Amino acid sequence: MLKVPRPEHPRPDFERSNWINLNGEWQFEIDIGKSGFERGWATGRDFGQKIIVPFPPESVLSGLGVTDFMESVWYRRFFGLPESWLDKRVLLHFGAVDYETKVYVNGRQVVQHRGGYTPFTCDISDAVRVGDNELVVWARDECRSKLQASGKQSHRLESYGCFYTRVTGIWQTVWLESVPHIYVQSFRLTTDPNHGKVFVRACVVGRGKRFSLSMMASEGREAIAEIDGTFYRSPAELVLALPSSRVWSPQDPYLYRLRLQLSSGDNLVDTVDSYFGLRDIHVVDNRLLLNNKTRFLRLVLDQGYYREGVYTAPSDDALKHDVEISKAMGFDGARLHQKIFEPRFLYWADNLGYVVVEEFPDWGADISQSSAREALLDEWIEVVQRDFNHPCVIVWTPFNEKTFAIGDQCADFIRRIVRLTRLSDPTRPIIDSSGRTHVETDIYDVHDYEQNGDRFRSHYADLEGPTAKAWDQTTSFDRRALPAIFQRNAPYKGQPFMVSEYGGTWWQPEEPHAKSWGYGERPKSAEELTARYKVLTECLLLNPAISAFCYTQLYDIEQETNGLHTYDRRPKIEARIIRDINKQEAAIEKMHRNKEKNRR
């Protein structure tokens, strides 16, 4: 029997016992003329190639490695079902398919979805039968259309600059799930670590007028708290009080087990296993408070690319390893840049204590066009819904490096997205558009690739003085006197200040390839690279007006060779050396620790 690639359950935050992984060998066809529907490819046709799902066809691990543009592709396979499933509902799940998808089971269309980074599910109960079932997937991916978000995927034939190999079609796990006729479709979980409470809002679908829902929290195998209720309509809301509170943090990523059980009448019909962490993140003046303590965030840029899998990690261990190598260098977490990562990455971040600034891959979508705006809005809200329950996610960032005139339609749209995000999730701060023009933001961030330490330090020397006041629109200060990095930003209003891209120093142990690049003049040795990292990082750590940094970047990607590791995740500098620099107490932490001590 062939080994199933990526065999682990794709959603450990929402897991049932009855599921079947559909990863592995599928039939595949590139629809060069986009005529597959006219040719009747939705059913009954063998395709000429083989592909290993869930790896995209551009990847080596897919077995194809085709890196040309593929605007229309088709997949086909057969599956059987356990006999016990046929009197229940059968759900078909896709982790992500880039970009627009239509799915057919036994010739019947069962779902259509738009968005390359978010999951979708369809109930195929009425389409399946005893014996073999045909599953056909069509995917359209026109990344050059300017109407769809594509992140850092290259719009040229080859990779260039900070744009890399494209991804087409299925790139996350496909799986089947057996559920009862009334079942828990989703739930949203909010924690209150100050009072040891957990709030759950569960969406229940299916036939039946009355149902009961119970929620149980466990530490290891020991149940510590339980509550249940009877409901006549969905959603069902429960509040669980814990006997004691142990908060989740990078130092102590403590997770409680969670079990939801649904009963119809006297019968237990559905069980969902998950977990949660008690964690609070909020803004006070220019500080970020994690669990009510001032926290300087030491982040690294992570773009989620893999040499052999492109967007798709070769294994679950590879996802875990990326978190481990970053923590080994003393980073608290990552800014997940221009990509929505697999849920299992967030699972490992939850388990290992790794905070995440989650950013939407908005590049590629021209938001001056209404159809691009609406598609982006739909997909972004799906992102927030998918990842709401993860304690590791502490900041939402829907856009990156947008430049526009304050008051134009792009600015209005970004403000709309921020406000909708805040309505969807009032528990996390939001960066509206990272690094460029800000419209309405809880954290003020800039991108600054200056490599000279003295000049870099001077950019932030007056954050608490005249320059900060100069950024206020009510003053008559000449903004042209500011460093160029700030001339393109909206006024600063005293929020937490974050340099969310810096460094990016170009260096490889060996002589670089002709197309390789990074920022600044290449250091001559690892020692010189370390010295530059130390100077730049301490400029931010030791400035009491700065609340966070994000270094570019964790590892090289294709021609972009400015990582602290190579593309194969080999460290360029000993992890201990970077960790010793990063783990210094930040000035803002020290200042508020002393204030707290004096208050006592």
pLDDT at position 101 is 98
Residue 264 CA from chain centroid, whole number: 36
Looking at domain 281-593, its CATH superfamily turns out to be Glycosidases (3.20.20.80)
Residue 148, pLDDT > 60, answer yes
Provide the β-strand partners of residue 590: none
CA distance 518 to 296: 26
Residue 520 CA from chain centroid, whole number: 29
- 110: its two tokens: 């069962």
Judged by DSSP in three states, 500 sits in: strand
CA distance 456 to 369: 37
pLDDT at position 463 is 78
Q: What is the gyration radius of the CA atoms in the chain, in angstroms? A: 25
In sequence order, the 6+-apart residues with CB closer than 8 A to the CB of 314 are 61, 306, 308
- 508: its two tokens: 């490889």
Q: Identify the band that residue 152 occupies on the pLDDT scale cut at 50, 70 and 90.
A: very high
CA distance 69 to 328: 38
Residue 169's alpha-carbon distances to 31, 86, 256, in angstroms, are 12, 29, 36
The closest of 435, 439, 431 to 407, measured between CA atoms, is 439
pLDDT at position 466 is 42
**Domain 24-172: CATH class, spelled out:** mainly beta
Average pLDDT across the chain, whole number: 93
Element of type H or E holding 276: strand 267-276
- 273: its two tokens: 């296993």
- In tens, the pLDDT along 278-300 reads 999 999 999 999 999 999 999 99
pTM of the model: 0.95
How many other β-carbons are positioned within 10 Å of the β-carbon of residue 482?
17
- In tens, the pLDDT along 3-37 reads 899 999 999 999 999 999 999 999 999 999 999 99
Instruction: Please check whether the two domains, 24-172 and 182-192+194-276, share a CATH topology.
Output: no
Dihedral of CA 297/303/307/309: which sign? positive
How many other β-carbons are positioned within 10 Å of the β-carbon of residue 120?
18
Among 50-64, 76-90, 206-220, 474-488, the least confident range:
474-488
Segment 334-352 mean pLDDT: 98
DSSP track, 1-48: -PPPSS-S-S-TTSB-S-EEE--EEEEEEE-TTS-TTTTTTTSS---S
pLDDT at position 96 is 98
Segment 311-320 mean pLDDT: 98
Segment 331-336 mean pLDDT: 98
Segment 587-597 mean pLDDT: 85
Of residues 377 and 471, the one with the higher pLDDT is: 377
The closest of 290, 405, 263, 285 to 357, measured between CA atoms, is 290
| Residues 320-343: b if buried by 16+ CB within 10 A, e if exposed | bebbebbbebbbbbbbbbbbbbbb
CATH 2.60.40.10 fits 182-192+194-276, yes or no: yes
Find out whether 105 and 187 touch, Cβ atoms under 8 Å. Answer: no
Residue 418, pLDDT > 70, answer yes
Element of type H or E holding 237: strand 236-241
Q: Where are the domains of the chain?
A: 24-172, 182-192+194-276, 281-593
pLDDT at position 406 is 67
The closest of 303, 363, 309 to 58, measured between CA atoms, is 309
CA distance 135 to 143: 25
Phi, psi of 138 (to 5 degrees): -110, 135
pLDDT at position 158 is 96
The closest of 351, 353, 352, 355 to 336, measured between CA atoms, is 355
CA distance 147 to 471: 34
pLDDT at position 291 is 97
Residue with tokens 């481990």: 324
Of residues 246 and 2, the one with the higher pLDDT is: 246
Dihedral of CA 577/583/588/590: which sign? negative
How many other β-carbons are positioned within 10 Å of the β-carbon of residue 42?
20
Residue 218 CA from chain centroid, whole number: 27
Residue 489's alpha-carbon distances to 86, 284, 394, in angstroms, are 58, 22, 23
Residue 372, pLDDT > 60, answer yes
pLDDT at position 403 is 82
Phi, psi of 452 (to 5 degrees): -85, 125
Task: Select the highest-mean-pLDDT range: 81-85, 230-234, 304-308, 591-595.
Answer: 304-308
Count helices and strands (H / E) in the chain. Answer: 10, 31
Residue 598, pLDDT > 80, answer no
How many other β-carbons are positioned within 10 Å of the β-carbon of residue 465?
10
pLDDT at position 112 is 98
Segment 183-210 mean pLDDT: 94
DSSP track, 141-166: --GGGSBS--TTB-SSSS-BTTBB--
pLDDT at position 592 is 85
- In tens, the pLDDT along 454-496 reads 999 999 987 755 444 444 433 333 444 445 555 455 678 889 9
Among 52-66, 90-104, 256-270, 509-523, the least confident range:
509-523
The closest of 194, 178, 195, 245 to 217, measured between CA atoms, is 245
Beta strands in 32-179 (DSSP E): 49-53, 72-79, 89-94, 97-98, 100-105, 108-114, 120-123, 133-140, 169-170, 174-179
Segment 60-73 mean pLDDT: 98
